[in-house]
Amino acid sequence: MWRNTANKLDLRRSIVRVLALVLVMLALMFAAYAYGRSESPASLSSEDQESVRLYAEALKEVEDDYVDQEAVDPKKQTYGAIQGMIESLGDEGHTRFLTPEEVENNRQGLSGKYVGIGVQLENREEEVVVSAPIDGSPADEAGVKTGDVVVAVDGEGVEGEDVAQIAEKVRGPEGSPVELTVRRGEEEQSFELEREELAVETASWNLIPETNVAHLRLASFSQDAAEGLRVAMDEARTAGAQRFVLDLRANPGGQVDQAIAVAELFLGPDQVVYVRRDASGDQDEVRTSDDAEPTDAPVVVLTNGGTASSAEIVAGALRDNGRAEVVGETTFGTGTVLAERTLSDGSAILLGVAEWLTPNGDFIRESGIEPDVEAALAEGQEPLIPGEEEGMSRGEILDGDAQLARAVEVLEGTPREAPEDAPQASREPPGGA
């Protein structure tokens, strides 16, 4: 009886497994049909279909025979496969895969409000570096700097991990602590930080005393950045400003449409902002709109190694159109235009769909934009932001920020004597070997 019962149970289980497999196959067939022929494996090239079959073979071997079956997670394996595909492209720090949670965090960051410690991270030469700390954030106030190489989070080494993996470890609930360890030069330094809800002030300004020069700071190219900068410029003009230092130092960039809108505050109608080169090699000139109404006030652009992405587009546009000189240090060198391609489960690929060049055709990826006038901060100095300058005299401001002082000199045409300890500007991008 026991043997017969066992046989019946085995038979019943076999039937259930077969029915389940049939249902799964029917569901997959229906899903493929519903999704459309254009997205089905049949629409792939024969080479790509072979790759999909090869992945399916490997997946089956793992699911059937891997010794630790509890570790087999189909979604994690699929994400890992996508991540590996993205990494094989070699577009480090730009094209990347985002989980649904990372998609939400990325969109929050572009909105100008999110929970974190306030660092923008980039892949550079197989290391993850800080491209820019956010003004007034926990990371900025603790002393995290552009070019710092991230080596550990909460004491756990992150060597070999990419931006998305490290960013996920750094994020967490508001008010929770995190330890960030970085390498600066040959030394390592750890920072005990507390995660905060960050509402980034995109645009700010200050009229430098005894001058008609406004220090305009644009912190990012999040949504409505151009409108915020326009309001700041109007307020500065009302206060007496007739010339502008557009400070894009440590600006990590953001939305490319905001770069065009910011450029239109300084460039006339139908002027080239950047040149877009797509995967086929075709090039299109992206221009200002026909109804652009720019200021004619003199302007210089202030940059450093943390100036990236959309901030570089604006710096290159104003320079190549003869509208402004670039003062400071070589920019970060982000030269791809990203498009978010959402996948069926809410994850996404931020895909480099085009390269961008300056209006003169300069390709700046990895090399960055070199300044017309080189200027470095004096030893021990940090870039001043307009909110810190309130109550300071002209001398205190210019003595406290050698790059800003040089930008004012260029605008006024009256060179100041440089401090004896002011170093020469470096042409090395942050994180370089």
Most confident of 72-86, 342-356, 413-427: 342-356
What type of residue sits at position 172? G
CB atoms within 10 A of CB 235: 15
Is 107 within the bounds of a domain?
A: no
Q: CA-CA distance, 75 to 346, in Å (whole number)? A: 12
State how far Cα 374 lies from the chain centre: 25
Domain that holds residue 209: 201-412
When pLDDT is cut at 50, 70 and 90, the band that residue 110 belongs to is low
Could you tell me which residue, 421 or 224, shows the higher pLDDT?
224
**What number is the average pLDDT over the span 170-178?**
90
Number of domains in the chain: 2
**Of 171, 160, 103, 93, nearest in space to 342 by CA:** 103
Same domain, 207 and 178: no
The string of DSSP letters for 377-426 reads: PPTT-----GGG-TT--HHHHHHH-HHHHHHHHHHHT-PPPPPTTPPPPP
**What number is the average pLDDT over the span 263-290?**
96
Could you tell me which residue, 385 or 26, shows the higher pLDDT?
385
Q: Provide the b/e sequence for 241-250 (b: ≥16 CB within 10 Å).
A: bebbbbbbbb
Same domain, 249 and 174: no
Q: CA-CA distance, 410 to 373, in Å (whole number)? A: 9
Q: Which of 198, 216, 246 is the last residue of a domain?
A: 198
For residue 335, what are its two tokens?
């030269």
On the question of pLDDT at 106 being above 80, the answer is no
Same domain, 132 and 218: no
Same domain, 238 and 174: no
For residue 360, what are its two tokens?
């003169």
Same domain, 350 and 282: yes
For residue 168, what are its two tokens?
């996920």
Is 334 within the bounds of a domain?
A: yes
What type of residue sits at position 277? R
Same domain, 207 and 184: no
**What number is the average pLDDT over the span 224-246?**
97
Same domain, 180 and 205: no
3-state secondary structure labels for all residues of 245-308: EEECCCCCCECHHHHHHHHCCCCCCCCEEEEEEECCCCEEEEECCCCCCCCCCCEEEEECCCCC
Same domain, 407 and 288: yes
Is 29 within the bounds of a domain?
A: no
Same domain, 193 and 241: no
When pLDDT is cut at 50, 70 and 90, the band that residue 90 belongs to is confident
Same domain, 210 and 300: yes
Is 233 within the bounds of a domain?
A: yes
Provide the whole-model pTM: 0.68
Is 8 within the bounds of a domain?
A: no
Is 352 within the bounds of a domain?
A: yes
Q: Check which CATH number belongs to the domain holding 206 and give it.
A: 3.90.226.10
On the question of pLDDT at 418 being above 50, the answer is no
Q: What is the model's pLDDT at position 101? A: 78
Where are the alpha helices (H) located in 148-241, listed in sequence order? Answer: 163-170, 225-238
Strands 272-278 and 283-287: antiparallel
Type and span of the H or E element at 7 = helix 2-35
Same domain, 170 and 268: no
Lowest mean pLDDT among 120-124, 313-317, 345-349, 393-397: 120-124
Is 339 within the bounds of a domain?
A: yes
Q: CA-CA distance, 273 to 360, in Å (whole number)? A: 10
Spatial neighbors of 224 by CB under 8 A, at least 6 apart, are: 112, 202, 258
Is 94 within the bounds of a domain?
A: no
Same domain, 297 and 398: yes
On the question of pLDDT at 31 being above 50, the answer is no
Q: Which of 149, 182, 198 is the last residue of a domain?
A: 198
Q: Check which CATH number belongs to the domain holding 129 and give it.
A: 2.30.42.10
